[in-house]
Amino acid sequence: MLPPLHCAAVFSVPADHTMFNASPACACGIDFGTSNSTVGWWRPDVDPLIALEGDQPTLPSVVFFNLEERRPVYGRQALDEYLEGYEGRLMRSLKSLLGSKLLKSETTVLGSAMPFKDILGLFLGTLKQRAEAAAGRPFEEVVLGRPVFFVDDDPQADREASETLAGAARKIGFGEVSFQYEPIAAAFDYESRIEREERVLIVDIGGGNSDFSLVRLSPERRAVDDRQADILATGGVHIGGTDFDKQLSLHGVMPLFGYGSRMKSDAPMPTSTHLNLATWHTINAVYAPASQRALQSMRYDIVDPTGIDRLFRLIEQRAGHWLAMQVEQGKIELTEQQRFAIDFQRIEPDLRVELSRQGFESAIAALLERIGASIKQLLADAGVRAEEVDTVFFTGGSSAIPALRDSVAGLLPRARHVEGNRFGSIGSGLAIEARKRYG
């Protein structure tokens, strides 16, 4: 069952772009993603995605607080300055803060305490500012994309996450804020191109969530305002690309840094540091003095200290985000090839690890089972047999993982697969919805 949107949630799209008058929309849609974000603005005969960084329509959801120049920077520039060695604080996967306990706390940036809520606001604010600069006009209304569930099995936490995001949007200057589910927004984008009626399963595998919608789409239904009867079922699970990164890191990389080491008592080495390093939004925790003292205290109780000594060098270099980027690149490469090597010479001469697709698939097998279970439940909720699904529409950055595609194909063997814009389908659909709601 869908959680409440707490704002307008009508599933409605125009019959086609000619249904609107020739003037551009007055509102925008924002897809605030775990890994990348987009802003959509409907204009006649123009791609709705606004360029946010140079000519790129995506802005990586990253902020770097440059301590040397005492300023925040965003997106690709943030990653570049971090990798160039500027002193500062890198924060990525900001969306993962929504629904987490961290959201109610604060952290130190540029020498001062800052609530995590304000960091979210900074990033949303730069999305708004860049979109307005590119559009040459202000935006006062917005449709925000949101996952079906920010938090699994916790309606109160899910509601708080939604309210926090809406509050941040209002604080940066949006007078009217509403939401649409991300997979439904992707359905808008797909429906604008089809020529016959289809039952479509939207599979949106983003950085932090896997969301699904089974919808009835057709050219004739584009003109219908109220589409609730065409939403056959919607579901999701809090698993996404960063979770795949985490499992690849733990199984393929962290053993080099002591993960799985044995203590002299024959107990396994505590894993909190490795878990933090493998999770984008907790990497900075490993640099805390208390965390480093805890590692030092166990150094001489480990049978083979080789791994933990590498871990100390990694932490000394504050290379946690660099390591996470190497793992993420490995995940991307393994969608196209069977093997990929990561070079760790900056940590130790001649140190490298070879990742394999088979190993990656084994590491994420349990996550894929949960995704498959969510799809099965969605079909049961809809009362639709697998063979009655015509099309699977894939969107989201991690939807290209071969094992995930194979898993979905096994559940829906008769459905054809359609590739959406992995980073733009949701933003495009939100632009259509913003035009429909606000004119």
- Each of the 439 residues of the chain gets a pLDDT tens digit; together they read 455 454 433 343 333 444 455 688 899 999 999 889 999 999 988 999 999 999 999 999 999 999 999 999 999 999 999 888 898 889 888 888 888 877 788 888 888 888 889 999 999 999 999 999 999 999 999 999 998 888 877 888 889 999 999 999 999 999 999 999 888 888 888 888 889 999 999 999 988 889 999 999 998 887 666 778 888 999 999 999 999 999 999 999 999 999 999 999 999 999 999 999 999 888 989 999 999 999 999 999 999 999 999 999 999 999 999 999 999 999 999 999 999 999 999 999 999 999 999 999 999 999 999 999 999 999 999 999 999 999 999 998 899 999 999 999 999 999 999 988 888 999 999 998 899 889 8
305-352 confidence digits (pLDDT tens): 999 999 999 999 999 999 999 999 999 999 999 999 999 999 999 999
Kindly list the distances between the CA atom of residue 141 and the CA atoms of 5, 41, 129, 167, 425, in Å, as whole numbers in the listed order. Answer: 16, 11, 14, 13, 20
The pLDDT value recorded for residue 13 is 39
At a CB cut-off of 8 Å and minimum separation 6, what does 127 contact?
A: 30, 32, 37, 39, 52, 59
Q: In what order do the strands lie in the sheet with 28-31?
A: 59-60, 36-40, 28-31, 141-146, 176-181
378-398 confidence digits (pLDDT tens): 999 999 999 999 999 999 889
The pLDDT value recorded for residue 83 is 87
Separation of first and last alpha carbons in the chain:
30
Name 141's bridge partners: 176
Concatenated DSSP letters for 177-228? EEEEEHHHHHHHHHHTT-SS-EEEEEEEE-SS-EEEEEEEE-TGGGG-S--G
At a CB cut-off of 8 Å and minimum separation 6, what does 415 contact?
A: 201, 386, 389, 390, 391, 392
Identify the CATH number of the domain defined by range 27-174. 3.30.420.40
Q: Which of 330, 336, 291, 281 is nearest to 314 (CA)?
A: 291
Kindly list the distances between the CA atom of residue 147 and the CA atoms of 36, 144, 151, 204, 209, in Å, as whole numbers in the listed order. Answer: 14, 10, 9, 9, 7
The pLDDT value recorded for residue 111 is 83
Q: Which of 205, 261, 224, 203 is nearest to 393 (CA)?
A: 203
Instruction: Report the amino acid identity of residue 382.
Output: A
Pull the structure tokens for residue 103. Answer: 């959201």
The pLDDT value recorded for residue 39 is 98
CA angle 125, 61, 202 (to 5 degrees): 110
Name the packing angle between helices 320-333 and 306-316 (round to 10°).
110
Q: Which of 329, 322, 422 is nearest to 57 (CA)?
A: 422
Residues comprising the chain, all counted: 439
SS3 282: helix
Torsion of CA 394, 395, 401, 404, to 10 degrees: -50
Reported for 50-57, long-range contacts at CB under 8 A and 24+ positions apart, including other chains, are 50/130, 50/131, 50/134, 50/135, 51/134, 52/127, 52/130, 52/131, 52/134, 53/77, 53/130, 57/423, 57/424, 57/427
Kindly list the distances between the CA atom of residue 97 and the CA atoms of 59, 92, 127, in Å, as whole numbers in the listed order. Answer: 18, 10, 18
Name the packing angle between helices 306-316 and 289-298 (round to 10°).
160
Q: Are 208 and 181 in contact (CB under 8 A)?
A: no
The pLDDT value recorded for residue 65 is 94
Q: Are 198 and 218 in contact (CB under 8 A)?
A: yes
Q: Are 292 and 315 in contact (CB under 8 A)?
A: yes
Give me the residue spans of the domains in the chain. 27-174, 242-361
